[in-house]
Amino acid sequence: MRLKSVLILSLLALAACATPAKTHYYMLSASTPPPAKTVGEIPDYRVAIGPVSMPEALDRAQIVLRVAPNRYEISDDARWSEPLKREIPRILAEQVGQRLPAAHVATHLQQGAQGADYHVLVDVLRFDSAPGESITLEATWSVRDRAGVRLHEAHSVFVEQVDAPGVVPLVNAHAKAADALGNKIAEALDFLARTRPKATPKCAMERPLDSTKPKRSGSVFDAIPARQEKGAQ
């Protein structure tokens, strides 16, 4: 009887091990939806967000959790719905577009980014997720013009406290931090757009000829005044 109980427990344990854990997928989403653009509205300028670079240890499908100051844990049952190098530019573009209604904002991979007046490059240095504690988003970013000239550069750090356990609070906190980074980028773009030199209209350098006046020949003798001769009395 005892041997039979041991066999049953062993079979149950094997069955539990054979059942795969359910995988949950998460995505960063802006805290407020982007406003609808008016159909046919012509933007004053165009902005391309990206590319975004980040450490290779964090650039993976699984969500990486910091369980100790020098130790990370890779969660196999919690994954990002798409690579962070694509998700972060998307949420930044949504936030910047919401703050700058006069601009057309797109990620660098979208067709709307072609011919952009400003390009925003982001280098993510930290993307920490400590369950039940906090998240940290640290990044350096720059704004460049069409020619690649650097117009603005900044270093930003955002820390969001997380009071509840689990992955969902961490993802929501990361979305809030990305929103804050988007606001900083929007402020810089708004300043650059308002202070950029305006294009001066092309002035006509020559006046049109008056067709009613007879044209004079280009002979050098035309410049010599004609002498009047006295007639015979």
**Token pair for 41:** 């509205």
- Give, as one character, the DSSP assignment of residue 107: E
- Give, as one character, the DSSP assignment of residue 171: H
Q: Could you count the other beta carbons within 10 Å of the beta carbon of residue 100?
A: 20
Query: Helices H, strands E: what count in the chain?
Result: 3, 8
Q: Could you count the other beta carbons within 10 Å of the beta carbon of residue 54?
A: 18
Backbone angles phi, psi at 83, to 5 degrees: -55, 140
pTM higher than 0.85? no
How far apart, in whole angstroms, are the C-alpha atoms of residue 177 and residue 162? 12
Tens digit of each residue's pLDDT, the chain (233 residues): 554 544 444 545 544 454 567 899 999 876 555 555 554 556 789 999 999 999 998 999 999 999 888 899 998 899 999 999 999 999 999 999 999 999 999 999 898 888 999 999 999 999 999 999 999 999 999 999 999 999 999 999 999 999 999 999 999 999 999 999 999 999 999 999 999 876 554 544 445 555 555 555 554 444 445 455 444 44
CA 183 to chain CA mean position, Å: 11
Predicted local distance difference test score (pLDDT) of residue 150: 96
Predicted local distance difference test score (pLDDT) of residue 30: 62
Q: Which domains does the chain have, with CATH numbers?
A: 50-195 (3.40.50.10610)
Buried b (16+ CB within 10 A) or exposed e, 82-99: eebbebbbbbbbbbbbbb
- Give, as one character, the DSSP assignment of residue 149: -
- Give, as one character, the DSSP assignment of residue 116: -
Beta bridge pairs of residue 143: 120, 152
Predicted local distance difference test score (pLDDT) of residue 189: 97
Beta bridge pairs of residue 105: 47
**HSE on the CB side for 166, CA within 13 Å?**
6
